[in-house]
Amino acid sequence: MKGLLRKMSVFQNPIEPPHIVKGWIDNKQNNGSGIEIPIFYPGTGKQVSVLIEDSEEDVNKAVLSARKTFEKSSWRRLSVEKRIEILESCRKLILDNIEELARLECLGTGLILREIKGFHIHRAAYNFRFFAQYISQAHGERYDNTEGYITLVNREPAGVVGLIAPWNAPLALATMKIASAIAFGNCAILKPSEQTPFSLIKLASLLQDVLPEGVLNLVNGRGPITGSSLVSHPGVDRISFTGGTVTGRKVMMDAGKQLTPCTMELGGKSANIIFASADYQRAIDGALIGIFSNNGQQCLAGSRILIEEKIFDQFVEEFVERTKKIVVGDPLNDETEIGPIASKQHMERILSFVEKAEEDGDKLLVGGKRHSEENNGYFIEPTAVLAKSNNSRTCQEEIFGPFASFISFSSEEEAINIANDTEYGLVSYIWSDHLPTIMRISEEMRSGVVWVNTPMMRELRAPFGGYHNSGVGREGGYSCEQFYTEEKTISIPKAPLNLKKFGK
């Protein structure tokens, strides 16, 4: 792995962060009443700020603010035209502040700056445009099937929604929740990860310029304190959570005490199935993108790479050689392909799977170590192992890092059995230029999304979510409309009824 980490003169912070991170309630900063939590820049391992945790009292204050706006103001009754105008203004604010938002995102996550600017920020802005366009076509329903009656079905905003965003792509994923929630007239309370709050704090402060008071509040803190207070609050009508499966179960348990509906986008251990009939070079490129993009930290990662026997040895050899040449380093540098892991704790967890792999009889092919020659940042070598079987822990547990496992298969049936032998079911990848193979395999995959001959992509009109332990519910245009609204049925007789006269 010599030369993997390019020599940099000095690793510097992408931007000067706020010295103290606070939440937003009622369009102003809230002085949280909880403990102080240190925040570190993954590129250097140095503390760069401190976050003031919001207590149960602070969360209650945010919920009451949102509830007051929802019940007492005109927000939920705004015309579609006015709501579209607001959503487009949110989009413009994001695009007008690309540089600062991108550098704050980099500071919190360690993601590569050019990729944040090139994708994450534009996706965040597009989320608002998409839902502006979606609600412009929204409609109700009318039924005339029952003689003598007209029945109308309207959708009304659900109320106050709690939005819990993950640490791996805060802007892109949180804005999907914010845009869809407010597009349908709800008031929202956002809780970022306490590890990566910078970009979402800035976003919340920007959006206060166009959103009425109380429409978007933000609270900070750890899941067991701030998060639990939010999801168990009786004044919250919906919970949207993106994060790990273990935490997701706890969120649903807390929300279930109030019968609060939830959507859960949880973990994944996605199969990336590569057939000999695939475009070979494109499949190599796609497999590398699928596991190493976003610093390897994404639930969509194609972390189990299943390769047909006849091309297995060649494919693995070329994959490993390409992996050795990946540039790991400063996320501000234009040559960098993988930046630091988001936290020291998570870096150590990823590296612990090297030992687990050896214990299970897997063979380490490349990587598996921490980089330490430059600084104290959370850098690791991109890693791949040859799995003894699909029962290995590297094939069954979500590692959530730049860590791939290779498995060989000899038939379509075997590939299907291996791919579906997992507690997860978020996405699947299929690489083949043989249409009958594509159709058979895609129909057999037990996952919410199947991507054919492409790395990850999102069609926001289509539902996105997983089977099994990968989640509950879906996100996307119509799916979000269903989740963030209540259906109301109104039946009206076409003419006065001749009613039975009790007691006369």
- Same domain (yes/no): 262, 320: no
Q: Catalytic positions, please? A: 265, 299
- Same domain (yes/no): 235, 158: yes
- Which of 265, 229, 228, 241 has the alpha carbon at shortest distance from 57? 229
**Count of domains for the chain:** 2
Q: Is residue 5 part of a domain?
A: no
Q: Is residue 13 part of a domain?
A: no
Q: What does the alpha-carbon distance between residue 447 and residue 413 come to, in Å, rounded to a whole number? A: 16
- Same domain (yes/no): 278, 314: yes
- Same domain (yes/no): 354, 410: yes
- Same domain (yes/no): 415, 485: no
- 428 within 8 A of 447, measured Cβ to Cβ: yes
* Parts of the chain with a pLDDT under 50: 1-3, 7-9
- Same domain (yes/no): 446, 473: no
CA distances from 247 to 243, 264, 276, 283, 467 (A): 7, 10, 39, 34, 17
Q: Is residue 11 part of a domain?
A: no
> What is the model's pLDDT at position 376?
87
Q: What is the CATH number of the domain that holds 39?
A: 3.40.605.10
HSE value, Cβ hemisphere, 13 Å, CA-based, for 28:
3
- Same domain (yes/no): 229, 285: no
- Same domain (yes/no): 299, 418: yes
Q: Is residue 3 part of a domain?
A: no
- Same domain (yes/no): 198, 283: no
Tell me the chain's radius of gyration from C-alpha atoms: 24
> What is the model's pLDDT at position 2?
41
Q: What domain range includes position 207?
A: 20-266+466-489
Find the distance separating the first CA and the last CA of the chain, reported in whole Å: 94
Phi, psi of 177, rounded to the nearest 5 degrees: -70, -45
Q: Is residue 100 part of a domain?
A: yes
Q: Is residue 151 part of a domain?
A: yes
Within 10 Å of residue 321's Cβ, how many Cβ atoms?
A: 10
Kindly give the interhelix angle for 121-136 and 170-183, rounded to the nearest 10 degrees: 20
- 328 within 8 A of 381, measured Cβ to Cβ: yes
- Same domain (yes/no): 426, 399: yes
- Same domain (yes/no): 285, 398: yes
Instruction: Give this prediction's pTM.
Output: 0.95
- Same domain (yes/no): 214, 231: yes
